[in-house]
Structure 1
Amino acid sequence: MMAKTGQRTARDGATLDDEALLDKVQRQTFRYFWDFGHPVSGLARDRFGGDDEWTATGGTGFGAMAIIVAAERGWIERSEAVERLHRIVGFLQRADSYHGAFPHFLNGSTGRTIRFWGKDDGADIVETALLLQGLLAAEVYFDGDGREAALRGKIAGLARSVEWNWFTQGGREALYWHWSPNNGFAMNHELLGWNECLIVFVLAAGSEDYAIGPRVYHNGYAQSRTFINRRRHEGIELPLGPDGGGPLFFAHYSFCGLDPRGLTDAYTDYWRQNLAHARINYEYCVRNPKGYAGYGPDCWGLTASDSVHGYSAHAPDNDLGVIAPTAALSSLPYLPDEAMRALRHFHDDLGERIWRDLGFVDAFSETEDWYATTHLAIDQGPIIAMIENHRTGLLWKLVMRHPQVRRGLERLGFTSPHIVGV
């Protein structure tokens, strides 16, 4: 049973060293996925503070990663982790899917699709890829016999059934985000970079039965007008992406599993890309050209989150004075000193306003004296995953060992220390 969620003072964190504070934040944030996971399906609920039947497909992928971290660190028994993942994967086997791909939202009790909006009432291949990123990590991690072997078989079946090439609309050199049995490809939303979608192309290229060809990546995703940048922002050259770098989740979602260290292709070095993106975001917040309250070296991080008036993809070119803790905390591998300084401030100084039983609230604005009462799965999950990657590289090691990931990277022309000699 989950304890009642309310305000908690965080001053005790001032006496913790960095490792102990990171432990505390990871472990408490994990409660979002473990205690607040849907009681029937085990899937990650989309948000705390919303409809409890709405579960998030991509958020469940991040939740699977959180369960791995919890098992590795001894917060739960390994057998408990396996049983929760069996419940999740067994439910997904019975839930709505479309050519093997899942919708953005599922009803956590029935497994039926919940319409996101308009014609988005079918498959979402980006959410599906984020789901599989976490499940493939679990397939590698749980390498024992018995129930662990059975879990691996279930995950492999889900992954193998996704018909990635269906989403090229009959062989075009592009991937399309959505397909619906009611509306087909009517949304016509092509995946164009640079953004959070790299993991989609890697998994699609690495599929055993339904692989896309490399031209889908090179002539589709990489040909967007916002793919190549190579201009300077805040005095820093940005290899890829929109001016200012865009919201920081671009540097987090695919890289909860893909190890950017030494990862290169025809376009860039992805460690350099993500480091530049995070540094630009940080320097922009320190400069604070709009004069928002609170911004500075210990309070930074713009990404998609709840906002004062709804939800918004915050970035230097869309700065509404709203800081999301996930932005800085999930950037710990890239800017460890700056991220730890932000963590200390969020926890020790702002704790009574933003620290809760399920971790940090989604976002806040000191200018507006606004502090969210919500938590979102897609923001809580990367905090746990990216802190762990900074500390041990665990999730990077697991995902980069998976054959589908390695095939996909090689077919798209990537090099990485993980695939040398393969």
Structure 2
Amino acid sequence: MRKLPFVIELEAKRSFEFFWNEANTNPDSPGYGLILDQSANKEVASIASVGFGLTAIIIGIERGWITREEGYERTKGTLKTFWNNVEHERGFFYHFLNMETGKKNESFYDCASIIDTSILLNGAITSAEYFGGEIAELFEKIYDRVDWMMYYDHSVNQFYMGYKPETGGFHHWDMYAEQMMQYILGVASETHPVPVKIYEGFERRLGEYGGYEFYNSPGGSLFTHQYSHAWFDFNKYLDSDGIDWFENSVKASKANRQYCINEHGNFKTYHENSWGLTACSTPNGYGGPGTPPYHPNVTSKNDGTVAPSGAAGSIVFTPEESISAMEYYYGKHSKLWGEYGFVDAYNLDVTPEWYANHVIGIDKGITLLMIENYRSGLVWDLYMKNKVVQKGIKLLDWNKKDSGSL
């Protein structure tokens, strides 16, 4: 158990408070337990936010921020909502939901999402392991209902990226990104598994930047190297090809920081303590800043925006650099700090200088979970002992490393 610097401890607690406070707590509501997608819109929930939030509840209990009884009731009610009320397509939930009804959000129609459903399931897995009993039973029912084959395109041996009942699946997870969790969950299903060979279906493309050679995602956003790692302890396993995905994320994080150092002359927001380009709010709306090596069909969308969650979400990969960044943000940018800790992002390269006026659930989530994994390994420990996860590891033929601990 590591003792955290003051700022990191405070950011963890404030991040937790977003998930605890910005939830539907009306026990008579069909949307009980749903959590806001972001603090600026009080009507729209996201299932990914709930996935991070379920694990956040466990962290809150272990840190003494809430009681076990409070956490148990909130978790049980949330999973009952997903089993009974939340709109889905053969087990896949819609990305955005009406906060009160649990139905898909009609103001910006979205798809039944495999990646966001997977994040929701990851949160439920930690809940099942932590509480057991009725909560574990609810997780199993929700998981067993998911028809992974609905999202499988056998013609290319890949998952679709999205699915709409009117038109079916569209686009593909054809390159390495944040989807690693989908292979573990998809192959391990007792009811609707996808073939194990699906893990061979996406492209791994080695590239180099700043002296680091690694597999980058198409746009180079840092969250793609973090989200699956928030739950699965890749530091203990090599995949069937011998790839060390944990070390890959270490290199991606260091390359991301090096890019910000190199580009300081072009963007004054970027420097050695202001780095971690990742999907976030920008002065022009939600965007996907990232760093090279880019895939040939991708061009940079960087505009000087930096999200604190970029460096924070890499604290297990680059602890010294991530802590220095968070201490810099807290000490030098008072406008970056708010009710729920760091706001989503800032940009000094526009006039006037821009600071977000809100937080986003998934950014608070990756921050909180990675801080806890750095502190104690709690999330990893719970997730890795789950029977679904262990079955997925065995089927994918991933092997334990000789040693692997922070």
**TM-score, normalisation: structure 1:** 0.87
CA RMSD for the aligned pairs?
2.1
Corresponding residue for residue 133 of structure 1: 122
Cα deviation for residue 115 of structure 1 reads 4.6
Measured in 1, the distance between the counterparts of 2:82 and 2:67 equals 23
Amino acid at match of 2:268: A
Corresponding residue for residue 313 of structure 2: 330
- Would the alpha carbon gap of residues 305 and 418 (structure 1) be closer, same or farther in structure 2, given more than 3 Å must change? farther
- Determine if the alignment matches structure 1 residue 255 to structure 2 residue 229: yes
| Aligned partner (choices 140, 157, 164) of residue 141 of structure 2 | 157
Of all paired residues, the percent bearing the same amino acid is 28
Could you say what secondary structure the match of 1:176 adopts?
strand
Measured in 2, the distance between the counterparts of 1:263 and 1:290 equals 39
Could you say what secondary structure the match of 1:334 adopts?
coil
8 Å Cα contact 1:326/1:382 also seen in 2:
yes
| Aligned partner (choices 287, 297, 318) of residue 262 of structure 2 | 287
Measured in 2, the distance between the counterparts of 1:232 and 1:170 equals 32
Measured in 2, the distance between the counterparts of 1:177 and 1:284 equals 29
- Determine if the alignment matches structure 1 residue 303 to structure 2 residue 278: yes
| Aligned partner (choices 152, 157, 163) of residue 168 of structure 1 | 152
- Determine if the alignment matches structure 1 residue 97 to structure 2 residue 104: no
Could you say what secondary structure the match of 1:80 adopts?
helix
8 Å Cα contact 1:406/1:419 also seen in 2:
no
Measured in 1, the distance between the counterparts of 2:286 and 2:317 equals 26
1:3-402 equivalences under 5 Å are: 18-40=4-26, 41-50=32-41, 52-93=42-83, 94-115=85-106, 117=108, 120-121=110-111, 123-143=112-132, 149-169=133-153, 173-185=157-169, 188-218=170-200, 220-221=201-202, 224=203, 227-229=204-206, 231-238=207-214, 240-242=215-217, 246-265=220-239, 266=241, 268-288=243-263, 291-316=266-291, 317-350=300-333, 352-368=334-350, 369-402=353-386
- Would the alpha carbon gap of residues 116 and 99 (structure 1) be closer, same or farther in structure 2, given more than 3 Å must change? farther
Corresponding residue for residue 294 of structure 2: none
Measured in 2, the distance between the counterparts of 1:38 and 1:290 equals 45
The number of residues matched between the two structures is 385
Measured in 2, the distance between the counterparts of 1:314 and 1:325 equals 13
Which structure 1 segments of 5+ residues have no match?
1-16, 144-148
Measured in 1, the distance between the counterparts of 2:87 and 2:386 equals 26
Could you say what secondary structure the match of 1:195 adopts?
coil
8 Å Cα contact 1:247/1:302 also seen in 2:
yes
- Would the alpha carbon gap of residues 297 and 284 (structure 1) be closer, same or farther in structure 2, given more than 3 Å must change? same
Q: Deviations over 1:39-58 (max 9, x none)?
A: 342222011112x1211011
Amino acid at match of 1:31: E
8 Å Cα contact 2:236/2:403 also seen in 1:
no
Q: Deviations over 1:233-266 (max 9, x none)?
A: 111111x1247x7101012111110112132111
Measured in 1, the distance between the counterparts of 2:246 and 2:228 equals 13
8 Å Cα contact 1:282/1:301 also seen in 2:
yes
Could you say what secondary structure the match of 1:48 adopts?
coil
Measured in 1, the distance between the counterparts of 2:225 and 2:108 equals 26
- Would the alpha carbon gap of residues 418 and 102 (structure 1) be closer, same or farther in structure 2, given more than 3 Å must change? farther
Could you say what secondary structure the match of 2:271 adopts?
coil
8 Å Cα contact 2:160/2:173 also seen in 1:
yes
- Would the alpha carbon gap of residues 116 and 247 (structure 1) be closer, same or farther in structure 2, given more than 3 Å must change? farther
Which structure 2 segments of 5+ residues have no match?
27-31, 292-299
Amino acid at match of 1:74: G
Amino acid at match of 1:234: G
Corresponding residue for residue 12 of structure 1: none
Measured in 1, the distance between the counterparts of 2:301 and 2:234 equals 26
8 Å Cα contact 1:165/1:171 also seen in 2:
no
**TM-score, normalisation: structure 2:** 0.90
| Aligned partner (choices 376, 390, 398) of residue 406 of structure 1 | 390
Q: Deviations over 1:110-160 (max 9, x none)?
A: 111125856x44x211100010011101110114xxxxx112211111111
Cα deviation for residue 380 of structure 1 reads 0.6
Cα deviation for residue 333 of structure 1 reads 0.5
